Amino acid sequence: MAESDVSVGQLLLAEYQTVKDEQKTRIGFRDNLLYVTLTVVAAVIAAAAQAEQSAMLLAIPPVCVVLGWTYLVNDEKISAIGKYIRDDLGPRLTQLAQAERAFGWETAHRTDPRRSTRKAIQCAIDLLAFAVAPLAGLAVYWGAGQTSTGLLVVSVLEALALMGLATQVVLYARPFS
């Protein structure tokens, strides 16, 4: 096949397949981060309870911040890919094919009347997993009475990082977009 045998339509379809493959990979990775977070939190809680060492709970916030931020970044890239397909790639292919529209699913699923509710619930779940659970761990640590000055400072910094993450989770949620 000569170079001139590759059409613009073929290139656009190849690009579509590539970005959809990336989106699919990111979705799987993002969704697994939630399970990993829950597993790590449960393991740390179990270890802290067994050892009767509330300071072990201080391991939860940094893990949740890192995993939560990674979850958030992947979620944003998933949305960005969808937006690119809807707003750029789809219209170019539609025009080239002289069709009514391309990739209808990319816009159709966004018109579901329960979409805003699902996005708000997902935001609450993300906050619970990545911010509320580790903040609860900090509250248990603070209430256990086994605090030292150094670890107390660390725990306050962790709480601030969790609040920052929680703010980003809410900002990225965009329940009405």
| Cβ partners under 8 Å of residue 44, min gap 6 | 56, 57, 59, 60, 63, 137
pLDDT at 177: 57
pLDDT at 77: 97
Count the neighbouring beta carbons within 10 Å of the beta carbon of residue 13. Answer: 14
**Blockwise average pLDDT, block size 10, the chain, 177 residues:** 73 94 97 96 97 96 98 96 94 89 84 88 96 97 93 97 97 75
pLDDT at 2: 55
Query: Chain centroid to CA 66: how far?
Result: 11
Q: CA-CA distance, 140 to 134, in Å (whole number)? A: 10
Q: CA-CA distance, 79 to 152, in Å (whole number)? A: 38
Angstrom CA distances, 55 to 75, 126, 137, 165, stand at: 32, 24, 10, 22
Token couple for 46:
């179990």
